[in-house]
Amino acid sequence: MNNKQIASALCLALALGLGGVAQAATGNAQAGAKKNSMCLGCHGIPGYKTAYPTVYNVPKIGGQHADYIAAALQGYKTGSRKHPTMTAIAAQLSEQDIADLAAYYAGKQ
């Protein structure tokens, strides 16, 4: 094999390998609006504080960037972010649910 054939083979192998890389789901805000019942109890109340596991202000998520919301939910789902309630909720979410909720909350103020 000459250098041109090797380069072509490498490009083909790379292209085929990238075809298997999972892409993030595209979020649908309207679908997210139908999936947010678990979120409203805390994030839907301005100035809400919770006492579990400690007293803290529940963050406002409306208007946050969709990528940030999705990354946070993924973090709770995988355990890289810690909060018992959020971990339990995120564990139930599919990739599409996460994308839809992120799109919904990114569009809210």
Q: What fold, for 25-106?
A: Cytochrome Bc1 Complex; Chain D, domain 2 (1.10.760)
Domain limits of the chain?
25-106
0.85 surpassed by pTM: no
pLDDT surpasses 80 at 13: no
Average pLDDT on 46-50 reads: 90
- CA proximity to 59, closest of 89, 76, 77, 39: 39
For residue 5, the model assigns a pLDDT of 41
